[in-house]
Structure 1
Amino acid sequence: MTIFLYKLLLGFIVGSLIATFSYTTNLLTKSGAFAVIFIAGVVCGFGPWFTWLLLILFFGSSGCVHLAKKVMKIAKIDSIAEKGHTRDAWQVLANSLPAIISLVLFYYTENQLFMIGYVSAIAGATADTLGSEIGILSTQVPRSIITLKPIEPGLSGGVSILGSVASIFGSLLISFAFWLFFGWNHFSQLPTSVMIILPCICGIVNSIVDSLLGATLQAKYRCVICEQLTEQKKHHLQPSKLVNGISWFSNDWVNFFSGSLTVLLSWVIIFYMY
């Protein structure tokens, strides 16, 4: 119990440092900063020491891409997306909760199935985030994952070659880091193919499911002033008209459900493989 409390304290300290830096660089809102502190404490307390390094790799990679775009003065389209890049608590929790739940289950059961679920969820969140952040820089117009027709850049449900490549890289980054640094330690009984390929595939599936949900169930509105299709409930200070999806099904719910399905997929695959 004493070691557990020390790990919790360490997590809160490290989380506070990360949250402070992210808040001062406009990567997080105040609520997002507190959410990061909470998640860092839980991950450090319940997981092996490397698990929160994977979480840092997720937040760090997306943060670096954003800061690089800021330095290069590449603006993101904010008039369409539901929220800007600055993450609030709901965004942080939606991306992290499925992974956290799987990690806590691993702590109490020591079943490797749940650790693979954790890694798969982080790989999926990284794939989706990098796909969105980098994909919007594509010179080609994104296409709907459902109809393959061109859609507005920044609108959920759109895919591009650049974004797809970024998603694959993000998923592989987390999976390879998991195997490279920690495969010899806690999970030597798992073959390399499982430690790298399974989380990577699940992460890519997460990105695809995210786009599918974004194209079908996520709420989309049309501005009554400029008639632009947007994810924002208000545009030009006027209430927008719902034209597609479910009114309460925001991008945060898309991230949460896609992450949850990714964790469940990894559990099922490991269960039937071993």
Structure 2
Amino acid sequence: MAGKKTSTLLNVISGGNNRRFRFAELQSSLGLLLVESHPSLPESGAPTTNSIHPQSLAPLTPAAGGAAQPMGIPAASLAARSAVGAALAAVIAARAVRRRSLDGSGGAAGFVVMAIHLACGYRYGALMLTFFFTSSKATKIGADRKRRIEDDFKEGGQRNWIQVLANSLIATILVIILATMTGGQDQCLDSHESKVITGIIGGIIGHYCCCNGDTWSSELGVLSDEQPRLITTLKPVRKGTNGGVTLQGLLAATAGGLIIGLTFVFVGLLTVECSFDVALRQLLVIPISATAGLLGSLIDSVLGATLQFSGYCSVRKKVVSKRGPTVTKISGMTILDNDAVNAVSVLLTTALTAYACIRIF
């Protein structure tokens, strides 16, 4: 019997007659071998091709009735991942404060959200870190030109706790919910398995596509030689006007979302197991992410053009976001500030991407 099971496993690995690698068959054969290594587990309880999950290959522990049951990530592994996440978050946050990417409050908030992301899953920590590192780099490009244009320019960015949470709070809540539901086990996007989990993962992806796309668009678009146009009227406006867009900025937004999608797929190759056909479909995350990056930037621009005030100060010779006796209005109402615009655009993009992933996957 043992020889037959071993032969089945080797046949799957080698491809058998079909010469095709099928994860489900491999996992099923591994399940049969697990029966031999756990005598207390009846052969009828072995995982099947139709019911196998990554958790089925996790360590088996005896339940109350004596039968072995699969569990998610072992407690020791979760503790180790949390410790690694906290240590890495502390190093990155301290470095960001030294380099003026974050101020003191931003560093504290950044440490908390980074540690939570990494503890809940390395892939979601990777998404946040990709956003943080690439957007921080984009902020520092062309600093001299931005100093002359931007009213709220700060050397290095120096984002505070409000800005950190505006760009990470929703995703932090989602990763906590996801880790609670899955026991810390990474999952594939698969609505047939769970629409809720697929929607949550899609929302996290959309969140960081919006954040990264909008930041890249703002930080790189302002350096374009072309004159921005207000997204609602297409009339030419001054650089720095909320809601002003350029082709370079829109392309940057698309690229910002794209890099998030690539990160999700690449890290997923190392952290998640799923059937071969489901694994192939994960590649759809890449075009979805590029679209989400562009969409998030467009939503941000529409909100900025309509609900956020922009005016030109004749004294400072800059576009400003507050009214004053020397300020001539360009566009928008004084309803939302920049952080609120970011938060609303992130929320909308998160919801839309979550829905899209449920439908597509």
* Structure-2 change in CA distance of 1:223 and 1:182 (3 Å): same
Q: CA deviation at 1:193?
A: 4.5
Q: What corresponds to 2:125 in structure 1?
A: 52
Q: CA deviation at 1:151?
A: 1.3
In 2, Cα distance between equivalents of 1:187 and 1:120: 22
1:115-167 superposed Cα distances (whole Å, 9 cap, x missing partner): 12111211111111111111111111111111111112122201111111111
CA contact (8 A) 1:82 1:231 kept: no
In 2, Cα distance between equivalents of 1:40 and 1:218: 30
Q: What corresponds to 1:22 in structure 2?
A: 96
Please tell me whether residue 93 in structure 1 is matched to residue 160 in structure 2. Answer: no
Please tell me whether residue 158 in structure 1 is matched to residue 244 in structure 2. Answer: yes
* Structure-2 change in CA distance of 1:83 and 1:226 (3 Å): closer
| Structure 1 unpaired stretches of 5+ | none
| Structure 2 unpaired stretches of 5+ | 1-74, 183-196
Letter in 2 for 1:197: P
Q: CA deviation at 1:8?
A: 3.3
Q: Secondary structure at the match of 2:220?
A: helix
Q: 1:181 aligns with which of 267, 272, 281?
A: 267
1:29-48 superposed Cα distances (whole Å, 9 cap, x missing partner): 111111110111111122x2
1:151-195 superposed Cα distances (whole Å, 9 cap, x missing partner): 121222011111111111111111112112314742742514432
Please tell me whether residue 143 in structure 1 is matched to residue 229 in structure 2. Answer: yes
CA contact (8 A) 1:65 1:133 kept: yes
Q: Secondary structure at the match of 1:86?
A: coil
Q: CA deviation at 1:232?
A: 4.2
In 1, Cα distance between equivalents of 2:149 and 2:107: 24
Q: Secondary structure at the match of 2:89?
A: helix
Q: What corresponds to 1:76 in structure 2?
A: 146
In 1, Cα distance between equivalents of 2:311 and 2:123: 42
CA contact (8 A) 2:130 2:263 kept: no
In 1, Cα distance between equivalents of 2:335 and 2:104: 23
Q: Secondary structure at the match of 1:155?
A: coil
* Structure-2 change in CA distance of 1:30 and 1:93 (3 Å): same
Q: What corresponds to 1:102 in structure 2?
A: 174
1:202-234 superposed Cα distances (whole Å, 9 cap, x missing partner): 222111101111111123355485686411467
Please tell me whether residue 195 in structure 1 is matched to residue 285 in structure 2. Answer: yes
Q: CA deviation at 1:89?
A: 0.9
Letter in 2 for 1:75: R
In 2, Cα distance between equivalents of 1:102 and 1:116: 10
Q: What corresponds to 2:342 in structure 1?
A: 255
Please tell me whether residue 130 in structure 1 is matched to residue 220 in structure 2. Answer: no
Q: What corresponds to 1:34 in structure 2?
A: 108
Letter in 2 for 1:76: K
* Structure-2 change in CA distance of 1:164 and 1:180 (3 Å): same
CA contact (8 A) 1:119 1:199 kept: yes
1:68-112 superposed Cα distances (whole Å, 9 cap, x missing partner): 435xxx331466445643211111111112222222222223413
Q: What corresponds to 2:359 in structure 1?
A: 272
Q: What corresponds to 1:219 in structure 2?
A: 309
In 1, Cα distance between equivalents of 2:294 and 2:201: 18
- The alignment's C-alpha RMSD in Å is 2.7
Please tell me whether residue 10 in structure 1 is matched to residue 84 in structure 2. Answer: yes
Higher relative contact order (CA 8 A, sep 6+): 1
- Range that drifts further, 262-271 or 239-248: 239-248
Q: CA deviation at 1:55?
A: 1.2
- Range that drifts further, 132-141 or 110-119: 110-119
% identical aligned pairs = 25
